Amino acid sequence: THALGHLVNLSTEGCVIATAHAPEAGQPLHLLVQVPTHGPIKIQHAVVRWRALGLCGVEFVHLSPPHHDS
C-alpha cells in the first residue's frame, strides 16, 4: 500500500508525518523521503511508534546508503 504524507519534523533517528491515513502503532514501513536540497532518501525499515490527530511518529531502523552520481 502506498500513501502520501508531509514531514512535520525530520531527524536522523526518525520523523513525524502528517497524513490523512496514519498507520497503526507498531506497523513497519518503507519510506521514500523527498528532500529538495539532498534528493530522495530511502528508509528501508521504519516503525510507527505513535499516532494521534492525523500525525504519526516514525522511528528509522535501517536507512539505505546514499547514492552519489559520478
Kindly report, residue by residue over 11-50, the tens digit of the pLDDT. Answer: 989 999 999 988 999 999 999 888 888 788 889 899 999 9
Reply yes or no on whether the pLDDT at 67 is more than 60.
no
CA distance 70 to 59: 31
- For 54-64, what is the mean pLDDT? 88
Does residue 32 contact residue 39 with C-beta atoms inside 8 Å? no
Q: What pLDDT was estimated at residue 62?
A: 80
CA distance 55 to 20: 8
Does residue 24 contact residue 67 with C-beta atoms inside 8 Å? no
Q: What pLDDT was estimated at residue 68?
A: 42
Reply yes or no on whether the pLDDT at 1 is more than 70.
no
How many Cα atoms sit within 13 Å of 38 on the Cβ side? 9
- In the DSSP assignment, the letter for residue 1 is -
| Cell numbers at 45, concatenated | 525499515
